[in-house]
Structure 1
Amino acid sequence: MKSPRTTQIVIIAGIVLLVGFLFSQDIKGLVKPKEDAAATMPQEAQTPGLSLAEASATAKNLISNAAAKEFTSLESAFQKASGEEKVNQAKVLAQKWDDLEQAIPSALYLEEAANGQSTLENWVKAGDRFLKAFDNTQDSVAKPVMLQKANTAYAKAIELDSTDLNAKTGMGITMVNGGGAPMAGITMLLDVVKKDPKNFRANMNLGMFAIKSGQFDKAIIRFEEIVQHIKATPDAYFYLATAYESLGKNKEAIDAYLQSKKLAANPTLSNFIDKKVAELKK
């Protein structure tokens, strides 16, 4: 029989594999975990140098020739533009890259837009897209740079408005993930929740961090609050289930897993949960 410690390690490992799947998608976008995503969409652009030109060139190799030509034309217009027009061109390019699930060039163009027009909204959007790039890329060089750029973008947003909860939430997430000041990041997220108890993103990340640190009782309280009073999502139920499972509360875990399956309505996740439920019923 597996020891409780071994069971917790297995569960946490499974969470790490599924976190990108659950957090990088909204309900309508819950399609496949990352290991299966390559079959339906291009892989995330890998950008060791992380310059805008290199990111774009790498991403163009992952899309159709027709789409690549369109980007070349848009980039030419971006280079020739100035002022507000250049900012708008950067936003167009960022959206088009994001539509193709290429978060690195998308984030870099949002950074260009924010540098050209330094507003709270622009820096928060850039930070959010850099966090998406951090979650999506498997490139060991690009990953920490994406996190650092996200942190910098949120810092600039906070300079413009120190009370903005979206910026503080993003900053807290980057601090915890960066390892430099994880407790300070958690404190920042707790402050966000204190001011906005129903802040979904802050609550979800606090719950995730509780699971990763083995504080399963706290995670259960957090995710129960989310699904009952904030927003019942497949990812919230999934993490609630893993927390219950880690404490040996199999009945509660099964119920939460099945709720996740019902809300996601995704074949891959459904198959995973069916196997998990069968194991828990033994």
Structure 2
Amino acid sequence: MLNNIRSKQAILIVAILLLVGFLFSRDVKGLVKPKDESGKMPTTAQPTVTQLTIEEVSSTAKNLISNVTAKDISALESKYNAASSVERIENAKQLAQKWDDLEQAAPSAMYLEVVAKGEPTLNNWVLAGTRFLKAFDNTQDSLVQPVMLQKANASFTSALAIDSTNNDAKTGLGITIVNGMGAPMQGIAMLMDVVKKDPKNLKANMNLGMFAIKSGQFDKAIVRFNDIISNIKASPDAYFFLATAYENLGKNNEAIDAYLNSKKLAANPTLSNFIDKKVTELKNKR
């Protein structure tokens, strides 16, 4: 049984990694987790976080871009470091945008945090939190991940301190809690509250569906993703996760249909190759 669960985990993680960079959805680490004897999801302890500086995060990101672009970034950073407090915020905005344009979420988020601390508005804290979550999704670095998650949690908490009714902040905070910043059910309850007030909130619904998969509640995931597809948005990632849920219940025909819909909407060669292999595999199981 345990080997079967681990096998499903491996398949799902590989599949999700293929989606990173072009699908809306978040990368869910270790999608299928066994429940405890009471049938509840196990409580996740908060991670031990190593502090990272902007300089450290920036230095790592520069290894992933061209030397010319890295030099341009360094020049902007020198200007940022020499600036007065007011000018520094404007420079931080420029650096955040520059790093975001380069698809480097971690340093972008760090500079957005500087902006939010200097100009603590609801929008600035939500932007910082959202970018930290993106950085959490996009890195496999075991030191960077918990820092990004904790900072996302802190950013959304600051946003809710300004407006406790903001759905974007509540959704983001709920996601961080389920991913390790508290008891999973607390985060689920927060997302459910968002959906209750805003039934067509795509991000909250998507994450509830993914967390249903993560906890092995595939029937609930199927209902959730079918509702998303029918009433909110028929996206490639919604179809992909729907297929994943069907596959885990042995409903191979339904899984094949959903995978093919995902392939059609995404029109991505890497995902298409994966789905073609997956469909062939499922057809052989009929």
Relative contact order, higher structure (CA 8 A, sep 6+) = 2
Quote the Cα distance in structure 2 between the aligned partners of 1:58 and 1:12: 29
Tell me the alpha carbon deviations over residues 58-102 of structure 1, each in whole angstroms, 9 at most, x when there is no partner.
222332221122112211222233354322221111111122222
State the Cα RMSD in Å: 1.8
Number of the residue aligned with 1:189: 191
Number of the residue aligned with 1:173: 175
Quote the Cα distance in structure 1 between the aligned partners of 2:159 and 2:17: 25
Q: Percent identity?
A: 65
Contact preservation (8 Å) 2:51, 2:147: no
Number of the residue aligned with 2:8: 11
Number of the residue aligned with 1:163: 165
Cα displacement (A) at 1:251: 1.2
Give the SS at the match of 2:182: coil
Number of the residue aligned with 1:242: 244
1:1-282, aligned counterparts within 5 Å?
9-22=6-19, 24-26=21-23, 50-178=52-180, 180-282=182-284
Tell me the alpha carbon deviations over residues 139-188 of structure 1, each in whole angstroms, 9 at most, x when there is no partner.
11111111001000000000000000000000000000015211000000
Quote the Cα distance in structure 2 between the aligned partners of 1:179 and 1:69: 36
Number of the residue aligned with 1:41: none
Quote the Cα distance in structure 1 between the aligned partners of 2:209 and 2:6: 17
Gaps of 5+ in 1: 28-47
Gaps of 5+ in 2: 25-49
After superposition, the Cα gap between the structure-2 partners of 1:18 and 1:275, relative to the gap in structure 1 and judged at 3 Å, is: closer
After superposition, the Cα gap between the structure-2 partners of 1:273 and 1:177, relative to the gap in structure 1 and judged at 3 Å, is: same
Quote the Cα distance in structure 1 between the aligned partners of 2:92 and 2:181: 31
Query: What TM-score do you get using the length of structure 2 for normalisation?
Result: 0.85
Give the SS at the match of 1:232: coil
User: What is the count of residue pairs matched by the alignment?
Assistant: 259
Query: What TM-score do you get using the length of structure 1 for normalisation?
Result: 0.86
Contact preservation (8 Å) 1:12, 1:211: no
Contact preservation (8 Å) 2:23, 2:237: no
Number of the residue aligned with 1:34: none
